[in-house]
């Protein structure tokens, strides 16, 4: 190992071999493609494949699994071409997600729907549409634990190399954990137990590798230059925007604005839509549960315009009082803005009801999805909200990137909030005209690579399946709530029946900062503090809590580690109790 090599976590498999993986997949795809379509151009660009010709800027390795991706082992409609064992051996099996690949598993290049797909002369005939070719059928049920990788010509349906069908349909948190290299870290000599997911989530190899791939093969500014790398970067960036669109079920990628995260997205709406539509005497309604990011921008707007900020109360379990909420709405209400999930308590807020209420009173409604998107499927059209926003880093993506969804008519009535390059259609010294949304709201060079990384994170989550994630986390939350009950003097704050991912608590006589520090000594990362939600904690008479927050890679063992540590800390009279 040279000094510049990344450290091997716990002596495990090397990580960060993105270029090897993608090159191997690209080589494999080309090899198969040449066999399937003799004389055609290569399928994908493969920098280190001497046999791959210049196949044009459009032929790029794209990291998404299209909607029609096979559900397992190449078992999908379309032409299925078994991958030769020699080519399988080319895949770097020590690579994170492929570590457990069973070589007996059949691999297929799925040519489903590709217009020029052709079965090669002499190759074994493809099997029926819903099953792999009999010759390649494994003797026993294969252990499929790897990811699916997609190779696209740009237009779906894409060509999919399905290396085993991944985990779709089955959910194994221990396997999910293996996708996250940082979770093999040791902290103070103990295995890391990451329970600070509401603050930020960790990143899977698929995201880390997608970022490396961007910088190694696609890095350029977007939109401007007419050269190959600019085209690749633009494709990747706009591809990511389309992934956000699909993830939220927005009608068009024109409804998706990239922002630094939830905070910036809320500020964008406050400073653009708010300044145009809110004036003296108007009202903005939020709930008591809000994160500071969904309080301060509205407070600032109210102070600047003479509007009034009104706050709907919560009950003793931490649920928004819908009856009281409605009473606050009236003819002066211009905007309602609420979190879908509380970061401090975990309460799931019935935002569809609040959207309907706000609309009944003619207000626009914004939903802060920062704590929701990694736990539950979101459909902005079904919710009918006017704005929805989230942060990439809370859904296994990079920091510094997030998205704002806006209804077309809402975005169109909004002026730009920042000026500069990229957002204009024409500039003279006398007058500037602006691009239509979303470009109008993205002045300057955006966070291109991280947007692409966010796209990879959304693919990852989609592949795990939000229903699987929700089910697992719900079980874990029930388990955690039960197990924490053993700790003397522990009180859970936020006991709504409908909660996602958060166990917030205090222990009689112990300071939350001391607890946080003591747990860290045991390798357990939780948040101790006000969680940027001081009003809701004060509603419960508190300045801070300890918060353990969950993700799909958490297990009952993680909860056990937390509970055992708390039992030791309370039982041993720690902190001089």
Ligand X SMILES: Cc1ncc(COP(=O)(O)O)c(C=O)c1O
Shortest distance, position 441 Cβ to ligand X, whole Å: 16
Cα gap 397→375, rounded to integer Å: 14
Calculate helix-pair angle for 205-213, 18-36, nearest 10 degrees. 80
Q: Which residues bind ligand X (CB under 6 A)?
A: 261-263, 291, 293-294, 339, 343, 368, 370-371, 391, 532
Q: Which is nearer to ligand X, 57 or 199 (CB)?
A: 199
Shortest distance, position 123 Cβ to ligand X, whole Å: 50
Is residue 354 within 8 A of residue 572, CB to CB? The reply is: no
Cα gap 460→202, rounded to integer Å: 12
Q: Which is nearer to ligand X, 62 or 372 (CB)?
A: 372
Shortest distance, position 532 Cβ to ligand X, whole Å: 6
Is residue 206 within 8 A of residue 97, CB to CB? The reply is: yes
Cα gap 539→70, rounded to integer Å: 50
Which two structure tokens, joined as six digits, stand for 89? 């051996």
Which two structure tokens, joined as six digits, stand for 161? 């190399």
Question: SS3 of 41, please?
Answer: coil
Cα gap 47→228, rounded to integer Å: 14
Q: Which is nearer to ligand X, 272 or 391 (CB)?
A: 391
- Dihedral angle over CA of 46, 48, 49, 53, nearest 10: 60
Shortest distance, position 419 Cβ to ligand X, whole Å: 23
Shortest distance, position 294 Cβ to ligand X, whole Å: 6
Shortest distance, position 396 Cβ to ligand X, whole Å: 13
Residue 274 is inside which H or E element, if any? none
Q: What is the residue whose two structure tokens read 């006398």?
A: 430
Q: Which is nearer to ligand X, 146 or 263 (CB)?
A: 263
Residue 95 is inside which H or E element, if any? none
Q: Which is nearer to ligand X, 71 or 376 (CB)?
A: 376
Interacting residues of 86 by C-beta distance below 8 A, sequence separation 6+:
none
> 556 catalytic, yes or no?
no
Q: Which is nearer to ligand X, 371 or 512 (CB)?
A: 371
Cα gap 426→185, rounded to integer Å: 51
Q: What angle do CA 292, 298, 302 make, to 5 degrees?
A: 140
Q: Using alpha carbons, list the distances in angstroms from residue 168 to 203, 296, 462, 465, 559.
A: 19, 41, 9, 7, 25
Cα gap 49→46, rounded to integer Å: 5
Shortest distance, position 344 Cβ to ligand X, whole Å: 8
Pairing, β 364-368 against β 387-391: parallel
Annotated active-site residue in 385, 389, 532, 556: 532
Cα gap 186→4, rounded to integer Å: 20
Q: Which is nearer to ligand X, 55 or 374 (CB)?
A: 374
Q: Which is nearer to ligand X, 29 or 373 (CB)?
A: 373
Shortest distance, position 11 Cβ to ligand X, whole Å: 34
Q: Using alpha carbons, list the distances in angstroms from residue 35 to 31, 112, 157, 218, 502.
A: 6, 16, 20, 28, 52
Which two structure tokens, joined as six digits, stand for 213? 């791939």
Tell me the catalytic residues: 532
């Amino acid at each position: 190992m040279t000094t510049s090599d990344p450290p091997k976590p716990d002596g495990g498999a090397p990580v960060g071999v993105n270029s090897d993986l993608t090159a191997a997949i690209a080589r494999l795809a080309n090899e198969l493609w040449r066999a399937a379509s003799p004389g055609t151009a290569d399928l994908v660009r493969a920098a280190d494949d001497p046999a791959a010709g210049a196949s044009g800027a459009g032929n790029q390795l794209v990291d998404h699994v299209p909607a029609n991706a096979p559900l397992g082992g190449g078992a999908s409609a379309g032409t299925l071409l078994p991958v030769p064992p020699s080519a399988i051996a080319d895949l770097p099996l020590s690579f994170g997600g492929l570590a457990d690949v069973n070589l007996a598993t059949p691999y297929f290049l799925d040519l489903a729907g590709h217009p020029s797909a052709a079965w090669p002369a002499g190759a074994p005939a493809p099997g029926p549409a819903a099953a792999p070719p009999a010759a390649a059928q494994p003797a026993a049920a294969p252990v499929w634990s790897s990811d699916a990788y997609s190779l696209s010509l740009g237009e779906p349906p894409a060509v999919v190399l399905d290396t085993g069908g991944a985990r779709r349909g089955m959910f194994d948190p221990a396997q999910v954990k293996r996708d996250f290299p940082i979770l093999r870290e040791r902290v103070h000599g103990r295995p890391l137990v990451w329970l600070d997911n509401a603050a930020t989530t960790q990143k899977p190899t698929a995201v880390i590798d997608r970022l490396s791939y961007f910088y190694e093969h696609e890095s350029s500014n977007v939109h401007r230059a007419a050269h190959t790398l600019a085209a690749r970067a633009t494709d990747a960036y706009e591809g990511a925007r389309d992934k956000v669109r699909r993830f939220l079920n927005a009608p068009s990628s024109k409804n998706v604005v990239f922002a630094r995260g939830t905070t910036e997205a809320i500020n964008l709406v406050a400073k653009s839509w708010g300044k145009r539509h809110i004036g003296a005497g108007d009202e903005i309604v939020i709930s008591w549960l809000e994160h500071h990011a969904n309080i301060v921008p509205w407070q600032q707007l109210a102070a600047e315009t003479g509007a009034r900020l009104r706050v709907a109360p919560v009950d003793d379990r931490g649920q928004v009082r819908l009856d009281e909420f409605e009473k606050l709405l009236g003819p002066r209400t211009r905007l309602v803005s609420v979190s879908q999930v509380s970061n401090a308590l975990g309460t799931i807020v019935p935002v569809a009801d609040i959207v309907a209420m706000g609309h009944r009173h003619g207000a626009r409604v914004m939903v802060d999805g920062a704590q929701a998107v990694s736990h539950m499927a979101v459909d902005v059209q079904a919710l009918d909200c006017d704005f929805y926003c989230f942060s990439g880093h809370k859904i296994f993506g990079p920091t510094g990137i997030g998205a704002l969804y806006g209804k077309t008519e809402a975005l169109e009535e909004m002026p730009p909030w920042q000026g500069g390059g990229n957002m204009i259609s024409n500039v003279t010294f006398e007058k500037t005209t602006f691009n239509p949304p979303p470009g109008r709201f993205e002045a300057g060079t955006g966070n291109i690579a991280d947007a692409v990384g966010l796209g990879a994170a959304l693919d990852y989550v989609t592949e795990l399946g939000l229903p699987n994630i929700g089910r697992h986390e719900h079980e874990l939350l029930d388990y955690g709530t039960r197990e924490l009950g053993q700790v003397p003097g522990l009180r859970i704050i936020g006991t709504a029946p409908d909660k996602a991912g958060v166990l917030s608590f205090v222990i009689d006589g112990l300071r939350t900062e001391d607890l946080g520090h003591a747990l860290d000594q045991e390798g357990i990362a939780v948040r101790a503090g006000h969680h940027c939600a001081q009003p809701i904690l004060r509603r419960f008479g508190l300045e801070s809590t300890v918060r353990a927050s969950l993700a799909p890679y958490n297990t009952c063992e993680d909860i056990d580690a937390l509970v055992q540590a708390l039992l030791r800390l309370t039982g041993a009279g720690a902190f001089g109790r």
